[in-house]
Structure 1
Amino acid sequence: MDFKNTSYIIMGGTTGMGLSAAIALNDNGANVVVVGRNPESCKKAQETLGDNCIAISGDATEPETMKKAIHMAHDTFGVISGLFHVAGGSGRKWGDGPLDKITLEGWNKTMELNLTSLMLSNQAMTNYFLEHKKEGIILNMGSVLGFSPSPKYFTTHAYAAAKSAIIGFSKSIAAYYAEHNIRVNVIAPSLFITPMAKRAAEDAEILSFLKTKQPLDGGRPGASEDINNAVLMFLHPESRFITGQVLAVDGGWSISEGQYQ
C-alpha cells in the first residue's frame, strides 16, 4: 500500500505492536512519530526506524505528551494524517483482578493507563484536525477481553472494563465527528507476545488452552506483525468510507470455546 506524503503518530509505538506498525508504515512510505515511556526503547526505535521517523519519550497519561508529538510531527512533516493509539497496560501489580479483589488503586491506575491516556491522545488529535480543517483517521487499540471474556486465565475486570469503554468511546466520537470526515476505528487483538503478556506467554497451561481458544495457524499467541495489515487498511487514506468499526485480530478467540485440560 502506498503511504507516500502521509505521516502518523503512534502513541505507544516504541515496542511491541506499536513499533511493528511503525515499521510497516515506514516501509510503505509514511513518516512516523512514535512515542514511548521508556527513553531506552525510544532510542532503539529511532535506530530501527531511521531518519524519516522520530521517536520521543513521554507519558501517555500526561496531556502535554500528545501535544508535543503533534507539534513535532506538524513542524517536521507539514501534515498529520492520523493517530494509532496503542499505549496501555495491565493493572495487575496495582490490584486489578476479579471484582471481589480489585483495589481502588488497581481500578484507577488501569483506567488511567488504558482509557484516560487514549482520551487525551484522541482529543488532541481531533482538535488538530478541526483546527486545520483536515480529514483524518484515529485508530484505537482495544482487546477481545472488552467483549469476549475468558474467566479462568484472564480475569482482570478493570482492564476488561477499560477496553470495553474504548469501543463505546470510539463509536461515539466516530458518530459525532463523521461530518468532518474524521474516522475512528478500533482493533481488538487477543493474546499476543508483548511485554504485557509475559505472564501468560510463559505459562504452559495457558499456551495449551490457546490451542483451542485461538486455533488459527496452529493455535499460537499472536505476533506483533499479525496486526500490520489491519492497521495499514484502517490508516490508509483510501479507507475513507470506514468509521465506527471494531475489528478483532484474534486468531479465532472470539468465536472459539476453548478447552481446559
Structure 2
Amino acid sequence: MEANRVVVVTGGASGIGLGVVRLFARKGHPVAMLDLQDEALERESAALQSEGARVLARRVDVSDRDDVETAYSAIRSELGPIAIVVANAGISEGVRFLDVDQPTWQRMIDINLTGVFHTVQAALPDMVAAKWGRVITISSHAAQSGASDRAHYSAAKGGVIGLTRALAREFAADGITVNTIPPSVVATPMAEQGVAAGTFPPLDVIAQHIPIPRPGTPEDIAAACEYLASDGASYVTGQVLAVNGGMFIG
C-alpha cells in the first residue's frame, strides 16, 4: 500500500483508534487524529511526531457536521486529499431499556451512527475524485448478538453495519471499498471505565468465555484495518470482518 495516502481516524486519541493511528503513522501515512480528548490528542500526537510521523491532531465532535467539515478542511490543507477513513469514534453505556429516555437514546444515535454518517460522507468526494478509497467503520458484536442493558448501543451499531453495506454497493464502481469491523471485548480505557463503574464485567472473567481466551487489543483491530485499507483488499467490500477471538461466529 502506498505510504502517502492520507488517513483519518476518529476517536483516535485512545483505545482502538489510537492503535489504528499508531499503525498507519508508523507505516509512513499522513494521519489525522480526531477526538474530543484534548490532553490525549496533544500527548499522543507529540509522541508520534517525535518518531518522525506526520500526524495532525484536531479536537472534533463527530456528531457536529460543522466540526467535521472544519477539521476536514484543515486536513486537506495540511495533509492532502483524504484516501482512508476509519470511523471509530463512539460511546457505550449500560442502561436498562426501560430506563433509556429520549435524550439518552438520541445521544447514542448522534455519536455512534450519525457521527459515522458525517465522518464518511464528508470524506467521500475526495475518494470519488481519486477513483480510490477505503472506508472502514467500527461497529460491534453487540449489533450481531444483542447485549443486555445496551439496546440503544446495539441499535446504533446495527445501523453502522447496514450503512456500511449500503455504501459498499453504492460506491463500488468508484474504486471505493467499505467494510466494517465489529470487535467484541477489547482492552481499552472505555472498557476499563465500564469495569470500574460496575456496568461491565472484569475482562479476565469475560475472557474465559472467548474461544481465544483473552481480550482483544487495539493492535488486533488495527491489523485488520491495515488489511482492509490495502491494495490487496481491493476485491473486499460490504463485509463484516469479525475480529473477536471467536466470541461471535456467524
AA aligned opposite 1:214: I
Contact 2:208 2:214 in 1 (8 A): no
Q: CA deviation at 1:146?
A: 0.4
Q: Tell me the SS of whatever aligns to 2:28.
A: coil
CA 1:75–1:46: 2 relative to 1, 3 Å:
same
Q: Distance in 1 between matches of 2:137 and 2:130?
A: 22
Contact 2:195 2:201 in 1 (8 A): no
Q: Deviations over 1:7-51 (max 9, x none)?
A: 201111111111111111111121101101121111012112215
Where does 1:107-122 land on structure 2 (aligned, <5 Å)?
107-122=105-120
Q: Does 1 or 2 have the higher relative contact order (CA < 8 Å, sep 6+)?
A: 2
Give the fraction of aligned pairs with identical amino acids, expressed as a percent: 27
Q: Distance in 1 between matches of 2:61 and 2:27?
A: 28
Contact 1:135 1:180 in 2 (8 A): yes
Q: Using structure 2 for the length normalisation, give the TM-score.
A: 0.90
State the superposition RMSD in angstroms. 2.1
Contact 1:137 1:235 in 2 (8 A): yes
Indicate yes or no: 2:226 matched with 1:232: yes
Q: Distance in 2 between matches of 1:205 and 1:13?
A: 25
Number of positions where the alignment pairs a residue of Structure 1 with one of Structure 2: 245
Q: Using structure 1 for the length normalisation, give the TM-score.
A: 0.86
Give the corresponding residue for 2:237.
243
Where does 1:67-216 land on structure 2 (aligned, <5 Å)?
67-92=69-94, 97-130=95-128, 132-151=129-148, 155-202=149-196, 206-207=202-203, 209-216=205-212
Give the corresponding residue for 1:6.
5
CA 1:85–1:205: 2 relative to 1, 3 Å:
closer
Contact 1:213 1:252 in 2 (8 A): no
Contact 2:141 2:248 in 1 (8 A): yes
AA aligned opposite 2:64: E
Consecutive unaligned residues of structure 2, counting only runs of 5 or more, are none
Q: Tell me the SS of whatever aligns to 1:81.
A: strand
Consecutive unaligned residues of structure 1, counting only runs of 5 or more, are 257-261
AA aligned opposite 1:168: G
Q: Distance in 1 between matches of 2:147 and 2:92?
A: 16
Where does 1:6-45 land on structure 2 (aligned, <5 Å)?
6-45=5-44
CA 1:150–1:213: 2 relative to 1, 3 Å:
farther
Contact 2:204 2:214 in 1 (8 A): no
AA aligned opposite 2:10: M
Q: CA deviation at 1:56?
A: 0.9
Q: Distance in 1 between matches of 2:246 and 2:232?
A: 27
Give the corresponding residue for 1:222.
216
Moved more, 168-177 or 121-130: 121-130
AA aligned opposite 2:137: N
AA aligned opposite 2:185: L
